[in-house]
Amino acid sequence: MYLRGIQLENYRRFESSQTDLPDGIVGIIGNNGVGKSTLVEALAWALYGNEAARTGKDEIKRIASKPSDLCRVILDFQIEGDNYRVVRQLKGKSNTAYASVIVNNKISARGTSVVTDFITKTLGMDYRAFITSFYAPQKELNILSDFQPYRRKELLAKMLGIENIDLALKNLRADKREIEIRTDLMEQHLKDRESLTKERKEKEKKVESLEKEIEEKKNNFDRQKDEFKEFEKEIKELKEKFEQYNLFEKNLTEKKTERRGLLLQVESTEKEKEKLSDLFKEIENLKPQISVYKKTKISLEELEEARVKFERKKINQEQVLNLNKSIQSLGKRLKELDSELSEGEEIPNRLNQLKDDLNLLENSLEEARKAYLSFQTSFKSLSSEKEKLKKQLDNIEELGPDSVCDRCLRPMGSDYQKIKAHLLEEQIKIDRRLKELKTQKDEVEKRGKELKEKKVEK
């Protein structure tokens, strides 16, 4: 295991710190209380979590940090050419723990206990073995010597991987004791002491043979362990070759897919080319009909122009008839006025009064006309707005909650029902306003007709 670097963020007294560790022996020096032990403790905490901390997790986070700030340690190291990164952190007001392990830029473990188990398995030792071998907390350099002999032996056997051999020796000794007990019993009950002695010697030879066999198996185990490491290297190389093969297979599949797409495009282009060729032929066949169509279109335009002229002429004739009727009516009225003029001197005053009344009527008619045009403009504007709202509402109902707002261009999502209800409400308001405008428009039309009739009477 080769340490490469460690980063601290809001850990104990460190707000932010990054330390790169070069090859060889590294010494950390400084005054008391500057954080040397904290830096080393952070290394163990990153590997084994709160078990490696001197205090509870609530005291690990920097005192001056905000409740929302992260407390994090990132440890980088190498094992047999593989790059490991362990990230362990506390977040939030409750200091929720989280951890992850990244091996060669790929996540291999997530979660505090899972990461601790992964590190224990990778290093081949738990925290207790770690602090008695590679790591010594402050003032605990002699921790291994303080253990009782059986406990010290147990830890060393676990670290050296000879637990199984010790177990085999233990079982062998138990077998030896059992043989000795049985031998003693046999010596007591059997008269032939020489045969028992001979059997005992055979058993002792067997025990010696077994001990030699255990020694051979131990040597075989060490040799197989070395072979296993070589085998692991071969597996790693094969794995890299397999990944390269998968990458090549993926690229090949993408190229095949791209080729199929290009073939489909070529096929589609050929079909479109054939269609265009057929269309050109059809256009050539339709050229005579197109010429006839153009002539017919010109004739229709001329007929339409003649029809429009006829309609205008008809309207003008109707206007002439109405003017003639108005002239006849005015002639009768003039005759009546002439007859009234001959009756006395009050007629001029009456004529002036009639003129004033006519002016008032014309002003009222002009105001009514302006009001009518205003209502008509408002009516058209509201009708257009109603049509836009209807199209917008139909579009929203067709697409559903996944539709996009045409004003802010954001997905409607949970606001879909609110927007729909708002559009319906706006539509109802416009319908109500249209009804009011129609009523007012009808009243203005009625008032205009009454004023026109009064004007004719005057």
Whole-angstrom distance, CA of residue 456 vs CA of residue 458: 5
CB 354 within 8 Å of CB 458: yes
Q: Which residues of the chain have pLDDT under 50?
A: none
Q: In what order do the strands lie in the sheet with 106-110?
A: 14-20, 2-11, 71-79, 82-91, 96-103, 106-110
CB 1 within 8 Å of CB 79: yes
CA R_g for the chain? 53
DSSP string, 9-69: EEETTEEEEEEE--SS-------TTSSHHHHHHHHHHHHHGGGG-SS-GGGTB-TTS-TTS
Q: How many CB atoms lie within 10 A of CB 210?
A: 14
Distances (CA, A) of 384 to 164, 372, 417, 440: 90, 18, 24, 19
CB 37 within 8 Å of CB 138: yes
**Tell me, what's the pLDDT at 366?**
72
What is this structure's pTM?
0.36
Torsion angle in degrees (nearest 10) through CA of 193, 196, 200, 205: 110
**Identity of the residue numbered 229:** K
Burial 101-131 (b: 16+ CB within 10 A, else e): bbbeeeebbeebeebbebbbebbebbbebbb
**Tell me, what's the pLDDT at 116?**
94
**Identity of the residue numbered 407:** R
DSSP string, 221-258: HHHHHHHHHHHHHHHHHHHHHHHHHHHHHHHHHHHHHH
Whole-angstrom distance, CA of residue 281 vs CA of residue 314: 49
**Tell me, what's the pLDDT at 98?**
94
Residue 262 token pair: 């290009």
**Tell me, what's the pLDDT at 445?**
74
Alpha-carbon torsion 256, 258, 259, 261, what sign? positive
Non-local (6+) Cβ contacts of 10 within 8 A are 16, 61, 62, 65, 69, 70, 71, 72
Whole-angstrom distance, CA of residue 59 vs CA of residue 13: 11
Distances (CA, A) of 116 to 7, 123, 246, 424: 19, 11, 32, 60
Residue 310 token pair: 């006829």
Residue 77 token pair: 């190291």
Distances (CA, A) of 134 to 24, 76, 144: 15, 17, 11
End-to-end CA gap in the chain: 117
